[in-house]
Chain A
Amino acid sequence: MSLFSEGEPIRDTRAPDGSIKGRWDQRRFGGKLVNPANRRKLSVIVVGTGLAGGAAAATLGELGYHVKSFCYQDSPRRAHSIAAQGGINAAKNYRNDGDSIQRLFYDTVKGGDYRSRESNVYRLAQVSVEIIDQCVAQGVPFAREYGGLLDTRSFGGVQVSRTFYARGQTGQQLLLGAYQALERQVAAGTVEMFTRHEMLELIIVDGVARGIIARDMVTGEIETHTADAVVLASGGYGNVFFLSTNAKGCNVTATWRAHRKGALFANPCYTQIHPTCIPQSGEHQSKLTLMSESLRNDGRVWVPVEKGDTRKPADIPEDERDYYLERIYPSFGNLVPRDIASRAAKNVCDEGRGVGPGGLGVYLDFQDAIARLGRDAVAGKYGNLFEMYERITGDDPFEVPMRIYPAVHYTMGGLWVDYDLQSTIPGLFVIGEANFSDHGANRLGASALMQGLADGYFVLPNTISDYLAKGPYEKIDDDHEAVVEARASVTDRIEKLLSIDGDRTPDSFHRELGAVMWEYCGMERTEEGLRKAIDRIRELRAEFWSSVKVPGENEELNQNLEKAGRIADFLELAELMCIDALHREESCGGHFRAESQTPDGEALRDDENFAYAAAWEYTGEAPVLHKENLEYEYVKMTQRSYK
C-alpha cells in the first residue's frame, strides 16, 4: 500500500488580486464588519496564550467580542513565547539603512527558501511596523539609545538593523505586554480565562468549528465550550523530537485534533534546527537550552582531527584541530546560516569526531577572542551567556571551550490557512507558530515574534469579523450529537490510556520517538531512513497503545495522563512528518534530503517539481496530499550560496 495519495490541489481564495501592496487594504475593505453592539453576542474561543493567542484574545476582547481563552499553564504569562531571546523584526527603517517593507518581504521570502506565500509575507512586513508602535504603547521596555529613542540591531545575517530587542529577553517582554492587555480584558469582563485547561477535541457541527472539549487539569473534569468561532494559537510541534528548545508542555494536540477533524496540515517536515544549543549531558536530559547565535561572532567552532580523541581540549595542539566551518566555508566561516552550521556539526559528529558525552558536541572556542580582545571585552559582550552556560554545564567558557550541538527549535509547518488565517474547516482559525503561513521552509531570526504578534493583534481580529458577521450561529446544547460524540471520544481515550496499565512510562515512549525522529527526520533525511522511521513509528505506536503505564486517575492533577495524551498525538504526527519529508524529494530550508544536494554538499531545491505547499488531509489510513502551488510574482527564485 502506498504511503499517501494525491488529491485535488488547494488554493487560497481570500487574498484579493491586484498589486501586493494593496491586498491587505482590499481585504479589510472587502470583509464584512460586525456592529459593535452585536459583538458581545458573538463568542470566540482562543486556545493558547502566547504572543499570537494572548494578543488575539486581548484584541478581540477590546473589540467587544465574548472571548474564552485557554492555556495549559497556570498563567497565560508562561506560554513559551516567553523564552524567545533575540528580538523582533520591523521595517521601521529608523536607521536609514535602506530598509523597507519591500526588503523585509524579500528577505523573508528568500530566507524561507521560496516556499512561502507571497501575499501573506507581504502583509506580515506591512503590519510589522504597527507591532512596534503597539508594544511601545503598552510599556514594553525595548532597548533604547542614549537619546531615548529605540535601539535596533542586525540579526540573523541580514544587512539592515531592523531587529528591536529587550536585552536577551525580547519574547518575555512582548509576551508580558500581551498578557497584561489580556488581563485587562479579563478584568473588564470581555475575556473569560481558563488556565490549567487543555483542549482535547474540536467540536464540529455541520462542517463548521463550533467549540472545543477541554480538560480541567486540576479536577479532570471534561468540559464543553461552544462558541461562534475557534482560534488555535497552540504553538509548534518541535517536542515530537522529545529533546528540543521548546517548553516541556509544548504539544501538537490542539492542532492534531483539528487535523483529524478535517483541517489540512501543511509542510509538517519543515523544522528549524538551531546550531548553538548546549548538548545533552546524559540519558536523563529532558530539554535543550539555546545559546544565543551571537556567540558565533567571536567563537571558533572546531573538533579534533582524529576520531575518538578523548584528550582535554587544551591538550590538543593547534594542528590536530579541525576548524571545519572555516575550512569548508572560507568566506562565511563560523557565521554560515543556521541550517548549514547545524548540518556541518552533525557531519563531523557522525564521523566520530564529536566531543563530550556520547560524542554529540563540537567546541565553540573563545581563546582566540580572549587573546585578541582581552578577557574583559569578551566578558562585556558575552558575560551573561557564559554564566548561563556555566550554570548548566559547570564549565567556565573562559577556561574550557564551550560545547555546542544543534537542537530542534521551531517548526515552520502547521495547519494550512488561507489569507484570512482560516483553516480548511470554516470557523477554525489558526495563528502564530501553529499555522504554516509565513516562513516557508525556513524562518529568519527575530521573525517568529513578528508573526505571532502580527497574527494576534492585527490580522486575525480584522479577518475574523468577516466570518463572525454571518453569526451569531445557532446555539449548541451539550446534548447535541456532535458534542456528545466529541466528549465521548475524549473520555474513551482517557479511559483507554488509564486502563492499559502496561510496563513502560509515557516518557520512555517519547524519548524513543524523539530518538527515531532525530535520527531519520532531523537535520538530514534520506528515503531509506524515512521509510525505516515510518515502520518504527508504527511499531512504537502499537506498543504505546498496548504497554504504556499511566498512573493515577482522571479526576486529579495527573501530569502523566496529560503527557500520555500528547505523546499519543505526537506518535501520529511523526508519521505524517516522515511521509511529508519522504515525498519532498528536494532539499529546501530546514528540510535537507541527502539525495538532493549540489556537488559540494549544499541543499538543492527543485522548483520545477516542489514549488508548492504540501497540505495533508487526514483519512485514518494513508493521508491525501493537496498541493498549493506557490507563485512568485514579486520575488525571483534563486539558489542560496555561502561558500
Chain B
Amino acid sequence: MKLTLKIWRQRNAADKGRMASYELDDVSPDMSFLEMLDVLNERLIIEGDDPVAFDHDCREGICGMCSLVIDGTAHGPQRATTTCQLHMRHFKDGDVITIEPWRASAFPVIKDLVVDRSAFDRIIQAGGYVSAPTGSAPEAASIPIPQADAHDAFDAATCIGCGACVAACPNASAMLFTAAKITHLGLMPQGQPERYGRVTAMVDQMDAEGFGGCTNTGECTSVCPKGIPLETISRLNADLLKATAKG
C-alpha cells in the first residue's frame, strides 16, 4: 500500500508546531498502525530526519499509553480498539491519513504526538482510591459483593486511562475517566466510606486541571477502547449532587 501521512510535528512544548507530510509506499496490510510509524521512523533516521515521537508501550491494548487522533477520531476508525491494535488493513492504497495528538489544554504537547497526561494521575490522587493501608485488610471473604454490582464495577474498572475520551469530547472533558473510577469504587462496599468525599474532590481536581465540562454528547464512550458505559457519568452526577446536598 502507498500512503500519504500528514503528521503533527512539534519539537517541544514551546514550539508552535505544524503539519508535515510524508509518503510511505511499502505498507503491508498486516502491520499495526504503530508498526507503520516504526517503518516511517526507521527511514527518517537513516535519511537524517527527526523521527516522529509517539507514546506506546504494551502494544496489546491494555497499558493506555498510545494516543493518536487518526483522521479526526481518537484511536482511529475501528471501534473499541486502541491505536496499537489498529491494523493497516483498515486503510486503502492511496489513503491520506492525518495523525494528530490528543488536543486539550490539560494535556499539553510534549513533542510531536506525545502529550502530558499527568492530570489524570492528579485526579486519582484527589481521591480515586480506597484508603486501605497494607496489612489493615479484613479477610477477603468477609466482604461479599453481589455479582451484578461486581460486574458493573468491573465494567467501569476496565478504564485504561488513555485519554481518548478527552480527545474526542467536543468540550475536552475528562468526565468519562473520572466517572469510571467513581463508579468502580462507588459500586463496591469497600468504596462506601469515602464515596462522597471522593466524588467532590475528584470533580474539583478535574475542573482545576482545566478540562471542559460534560454536555452529554456521548462522544467519549463511542471512542473508548474499553467501552466504558455512559451511565458511569450519570452515576458520578448522582453522587456529586448527593455530596453537594450533604455539604
Binding site for B on A (CB under 8 A): 55, 58-59, 62, 73-78, 80, 82-83, 92, 94, 130, 132-139, 141-150, 166-167, 169, 172-173, 176, 179-181, 183-184, 186-187, 193, 195, 218, 245, 247-249, 281-282, 284-287, 289-290, 357, 388, 391-394, 457-458, 461, 503, 505, 507-508, 549, 551-552, 556-557, 559-560
Which residues of B are found within 8 Å of A249, using beta-carbon distances?
Answer: 57
Q: Are B158 and A150 in contact (CB under 8 A)?
A: no
Indicate if B92 sits at the interface (CB-CB under 8 A): no
Residue in A78, A148, A183, A394 whose beta carbon sits within 8 Å of that of B145 in the complex:
A148
Binding site for A on B (CB under 8 A): 11-12, 28-32, 34-36, 38-39, 41-42, 44-46, 48-51, 53, 55-65, 78, 81, 85, 87, 89, 110-111, 114, 116-118, 120-121, 124-126, 128-141, 143-147, 150, 153-154, 157-158, 160-161, 184-185, 188, 190-191
User: Closest chain B residue to A140 by CB distance?
Assistant: B157
Q: Are B58 and A247 in contact (CB under 8 A)?
A: yes
Q: Are A147 and B150 in contact (CB under 8 A)?
A: no
Provide a sorted-by-A list of 18 A–B residue pairs whose CB atoms are within 8 angstroms: A62-B133, A74-B55, A78-B65, A82-B62, A136-B137, A137-B136, A137-B138, A138-B132, A169-B158, A218-B110, A248-B59, A282-B28, A391-B81, A391-B85, A508-B42, A552-B50, A557-B114, A559-B53
Residue in A77, A145, A181, A187 whose beta carbon sits within 8 Å of that of B161 in the complex:
A77
In the assembled complex, the Cα of A58 lies from the Cα of B111 at a distance in Å of 31
Which residues of A are found within 8 Å of B135, using beta-carbon distances?
Answer: 130, 134, 458
Q: Are B190 and A248 in contact (CB under 8 A)?
A: no
Given the interface pairs A148-B147, A557-B110, the reply to whether A286 lies near B59 with Cβ below 8 Å is yes
In the assembled complex, the Cα of A461 lies from the Cα of B135 at a distance in Å of 11
Given the interface pairs A133-B140, A503-B46, A552-B50, the reply to whether A173 lies near B157 with Cβ below 8 Å is yes
Q: Are B38 and A286 in contact (CB under 8 A)?
A: yes
CB distance from B106 to the nearest CB of A (A): 14
User: Closest chain B residue to A167 by CB distance?
Assistant: B154
User: Closest chain B residue to A169 by CB distance?
Assistant: B158
Which residues of B are found within 8 Å of A181, using beta-carbon distances?
Answer: 129, 132-134
Which residues of B are found within 8 Å of A549, using beta-carbon distances?
Answer: 45-46
CB distance from A88 to the nearest CB of B (A): 12
Given the interface pairs A78-B65, A172-B158, A551-B50, the reply to whether A139 lies near B147 with Cβ below 8 Å is no
CB distance from B126 to the nearest CB of A (A): 7
Q: Are A149 and B130 in contact (CB under 8 A)?
A: no
Residue in A393, A458, A556 whose beta carbon sits within 8 Å of that of B111 in the complex:
A556
In the assembled complex, the Cα of A289 lies from the Cα of B31 at a distance in Å of 13
Residue in B61, B120, B147 whose beta carbon sits within 8 Å of that of A146 in the complex:
B147
User: Closest chain B residue to A458 by CB distance?
Assistant: B134
Q: Are A82 and B58 in contact (CB under 8 A)?
A: yes
Give the A-B pair count, Cβ closer than 8 A.
226
Q: Are A148 and B146 in contact (CB under 8 A)?
A: yes
Q: Are B117 and A75 in contact (CB under 8 A)?
A: yes
Which residues of B are found within 8 Å of A193, using beta-carbon distances?
Answer: 121
Residue in A135, A143, A145, A289 whose beta carbon sits within 8 Å of that of B60 in the complex:
A289
CB distance from B151 to the nearest CB of A (A): 8
Residue in B31, B78, B190, B191 whose beta carbon sits within 8 Å of that of A284 in the complex:
B31
Q: Are A75 and B121 in contact (CB under 8 A)?
A: yes
Q: Are A394 and B87 in contact (CB under 8 A)?
A: yes
Which residues of B are found within 8 Å of A551, using beta-carbon distances?
Answer: 44-45, 48-51
Residue in A78, A135, A281 whose beta carbon sits within 8 Å of that of B57 in the complex:
A78
In the assembled complex, the Cα of A150 lies from the Cα of B191 at a distance in Å of 17
CB distance from A144 to the nearest CB of B (A): 4
Residue in B11, B57, B60, B140 whose beta carbon sits within 8 Å of that of A92 in the complex:
B140
In the assembled complex, the Cα of A58 lies from the Cα of B134 at a distance in Å of 8
Which residues of A are found within 8 Å of B131, using beta-carbon distances?
Answer: 184
Which residues of A are found within 8 Å of B144, using beta-carbon distances?
Answer: 144, 147-149
Q: Are B120 and A75 in contact (CB under 8 A)?
A: yes
Q: Are A83 and B60 in contact (CB under 8 A)?
A: yes
